[in-house]
Copies of this chain bind each other. A is one copy, B any other.
Amino acid sequence: MHLISGINSAKFFSATAEPKEPVVCTKTIPGPKSIELNKQLGKIQSTGSIQYFADYDKSKGNYIQDVDGNILLDVFTQISSVPLGYNHPRLLNVFKDDKNIKTLVNRPALGVFPGKEWPDKLQSILMQVAPKGLNKITTMMCGSCSNENAFKSIFIWYQNKLRGSSKFTQDEMCSCMVNMPPGSPELSILSFHGAFHGRTLGSLATTHSKYIHKLDIPSFDWPIASFPKYKYPLEENVAENKKEDEKCLSEVADLMEVYKKKGKPVAGVIVEPIQSEGGDNEASPEFFQNLQKICKKNGSALLIDEVQTGGGSTGKFWCHEYFNLESPPDVVTFSKKLQLGGYFHNDDFLPNEPYRIFNTWMGDPGKVIILEEILKVIKEENLIANVQNSGKVLKDGLLKLEKEFPNLLNSTRGRGTFLAVNTVDGKVRDTIITNMKLNGIQTGGCGENAIRFRPTLVFKENHANIVLDRMRKVLKNL
């Protein structure tokens, strides 16, 4: 056992208390205790997606421990939602403060009776990480709700532009109550093949990564364009990838025309800076710059979904900072590492009337106080720079593995530690992921044949080397 146990005081929890390396003690993962718990849970829930049961009390830093005593170096981090690792001492300390405990048990309806500290908290915590040029914030609970409400803000903005200064008509007010136009207009959100933006009905209509997410669920007839599929290495395929950009962008422009003619104009475009669930598909800064131009030309809003990419793991706090857009995107959604959901936007996307964008809780102050400490640690420990460093080690190592195992791996890509590599097919991918787990590394799959890496922000060079060593061992034995 590499864990220091029996120490309760927060001051003893430092990065050095992390295990030195992974420990696997069962022949299979899930081990017997996980299998037993799975049976128990199966009596009241669907359990088909469960990998194992974790012992979070014993997990530490970059290492997740399961109930069977396996200690895995976690580079999947709860689907990319853990910024500082497990049981970070600074986060445990947050709730030593009685004031913060009161925040947990007095949860307000933030849209009606916010607490006295809420304006300050929003300003000093969330607005300090606002994407450049976006001066408004709407908080929500999760990624799906953030995208859904961002869509609503976009639809309201679009109709207000058409309506000008005139008031709602009687016909609009009556028809919307029975889901009919003109009150419930035939507007659309353009999305991309391979995209993932959530699973509630509105956000699911813009998700196109796997059929199992969508099958049997009614949807909207909204336009879907191709997202670039690049050839790697990028520097050897510049001309071809540029053509790919152009093809996709011309599809976007065409679909905007088609759906305008269809009577379902495109109010907004939603896009991930890196398509995550869909296979870690990147697109160039030029692609995003031109996408924004097409949006502006057509009067459509540009929504950048940073639910998975936001929070620092790409080597910038927001991935779209890499794109040098000529002006800020209209809306940026977030969740996961930021603990709660929401979206940043500009003044144009602030509805004029109350209760249009609203729900009971509208976010969660209990999550914001955790986020406050996370952002402090990111700043104090310079974790974005850390991500750039360890990301370089991990990426260079993956490129090296690609060269060592050209029949197994290709197309290493990504930014910061937000990285992926393709395998030859889905079956090989799944085998590698399983074997890496049995060698102490928790990774995740995405798309058809990619392995994705989503380490914490406290993932260091030494962790990257452990991942690479174990991966090499797995590939050698394949």
Which A residues are closer than 8 A to B by beta carbons?
8, 33, 37, 40-41, 43-46, 48-57, 59, 64, 67, 78-79, 81-82, 86-88, 91-92, 94-95, 98-99, 101-109, 111-116, 118-120, 122-123, 127, 135-138, 141-145, 148-149, 151-152, 155-156, 158-160, 168, 172-174, 176-180, 183-188, 193, 198-203, 205, 208, 210-222, 224, 335-336, 339, 350-351, 353-361, 366, 370
Smallest CB-CB separation from A176: which chain B residue? Answer: B214
CB of A433 to closest CB in B, whole Å: 13
B148 touching A201, Cβ below 8 Å: yes
17 residue pairs from A and B, CB less than 8 Å apart: A33-B116, A40-B119, A40-B120, A45-B122, A53-B114, A53-B116, A59-B106, A94-B105, A105-B370, A152-B217, A155-B217, A155-B218, A160-B216, A176-B215, A177-B208, A201-B201, A336-B360
In the complex, what residues of B have CB within 8 A of residue A220's CB? Answer: 179, 218
A179 touching B224, Cβ below 8 Å: yes
B95 touching A136, Cβ below 8 Å: no
B79 touching A112, Cβ below 8 Å: yes
Please report the C-alpha to C-alpha distance between residue A212 and residue B172 in the assembled complex, in whole angstroms. 10
Please report the C-alpha to C-alpha distance between residue A37 and residue B187 in the assembled complex, in whole angstroms. 36
Q: Which of B87, B186, B187, B355 contacts A49 (CB 8 A)?
A: B355
In the complex, what residues of B have CB within 8 A of residue A114's CB? Answer: 41, 50, 53-54
CB of A277 to closest CB in B, whole Å: 10
User: Given that A116-B55, A201-B202, A219-B184 are contacting pairs, would A212 and B64 also be in contact in the complex, using a CB cutoff of 8 Å?
Assistant: no
Q: Which of B78, B155, B185, B359 contacts A199 (CB 8 A)?
A: B359
A215 touching B183, Cβ below 8 Å: yes
Q: Specify which of A103, A208, A212, A350 lies most central, judged by the most chain B CB atoms within 10 Å of its CB.
A: A212
